[in-house]
Amino acid sequence: MEYQVFGLQNGIRLLYKPSPSSISHACIVINAGSRDEPENKDGLAHFIEHLLFKRTGKRNTTQILNRLESVGGDLNAYTTKEYTCIHASFLNPHVERALDLFEDLVFHSVFPEDELRKEKSVILDEIASYEDQPEEAINDDYEDQIYQNHELGRNILGTEKTVNNLFKSDIKQFLTKNYTTSEIVIGVFGNYSFEKLKRVFIKLFNDIPANRSLKSRTPPGRYHPETKNFKKPISQAHGIIGNRAYSIHHPDKTALLLLNNILGGTGMSSRLNLQIRERYGIAYTIESNYIPLTDTGIFSIYFGTDQEKIAKALKLIHNELKKLREITLGTSQLHRAKQKFIGQIALGEENRMGLLISMCKSLLDYGKVDTLAEIFEKINNVSAEQLLKVANEIFEPSALSSLFFEPLNDLEAD
């Protein structure tokens, strides 16, 4: 995974991955997300991400949106629990235009009061729309369940009450505290001379004042597994089963990534999909996910099914978890699982924007980016015994939390 890194004295870093394509991709990744918000200010990081596009010292909203679209480019952004990311795709000649826009948005947005009012309304509509999608909403409620009274349990969008309680002073304080220049990486994927790209980077970002605020994140408290059921005006039942899991720095992270892929990861040949969808036809959608974070992680199994099939689906899911806890994978099984996972990662490199953002996050988290060979070596070093140990830690029945959204019956609906 060939790449080059160059850093400025203010701490901002440039990561460059060369590509022979005529299409370039760029991103700016900031190590600041919803878990960094003050109490009762849920949704602030996401609110700021929206407002970055509204007005700067030299551009209005139309000029911001047209800056890349006028040359056929694309501009977008998103917020997670731990990151804020702006990304763009464009033809190679327009790299300076893209990076200049990033610099303007992140460091010179002015957050006018009229835009704050308008964007609150937009986000409240987004929240209402999101709540109409139970397959999405249940994931947020599950995270709140396993991280009760902690920042990681907050909905990234916030709530109607907290969004209406966001003000310009909150934005300024959040930026000062969390947009630390040493925690910002600009990534470029394209066909350039690195020396030329460095000159553009220095020209645009060298004069940004260093922000060396000390970021501190509160680790989540003790975990208490529990089961919750809610009645909703929906037609299908939705369920999540899961547990807290390993952080990005845990030595068993790679083993759990592999185990998750075996159980219910990408592709139609996962154990959960073959057993529950293909063999029994119980759930149209069933998948497992593992998200490692700075100091913790989230493991979950999601499924959607008819209400009368919930018990059967749960029995089959727990049977698969039991097999992974009790039966050591054979040599050929383990080899096939590793080859599948390795192949999926290699194919994932075709998603160049996703790859670039992942590399920037890796530089922020670890100070380096692993090559594909190094990633594959970590996967190949996972043993069947390690998988069994991880399965018994993460899939321990008494440690699993469950959350269900079930349809209202006729009397309740009335």
Nearest to 26 by CA among 12, 37, 36, 16: 16
For 404, the 3-state DSSP assignment is strand
C-beta separation of 44 from 171 below 8 A: yes
Nearest to 186 by CA among 6, 368, 40, 13: 13
Give the chain's end-to-end CA distance (angstroms, integer). 59
Rounded to the nearest 10 degrees, what angle do helices 310-326 and 253-264 cross at?
A: 140
Q: Pick the catalytic residue: 2, 37, 49, 374?
A: 49
Q: How far is CA 267 from CA 120, 121, 173, 355, in A?
A: 38, 38, 43, 19
C-beta separation of 406 from 139 below 8 A: no
Query: Which residue type occupies 129?
Result: S
C-beta separation of 206 from 186 below 8 A: no
- Ordered strands of the 4-7 beta sheet: 4-7, 13-18, 184-190, 23-30, 84-91, 74-79
How far, in Å, CA of 94 to CA of 75, rounded? 13
For 306, the 3-state DSSP assignment is coil
How far, in Å, CA of 136 to CA of 130, rounded? 7
- Ordered strands of the 297-305 beta sheet: 227-232, 401-407, 237-245, 297-305, 283-292
Residues ≥6 apart with Cβ < 8 Å to 402: 226, 227, 228, 239, 240, 241
Radius of gyration for the chain, computed over Cα atoms and rounded to the nearest angstrom: 23
Half-sphere exposure of 371 (CA within 13 A, CB side): 7
Whether 287 is a known active-site residue: answer no
By annotation, the residues acting in catalysis are 49
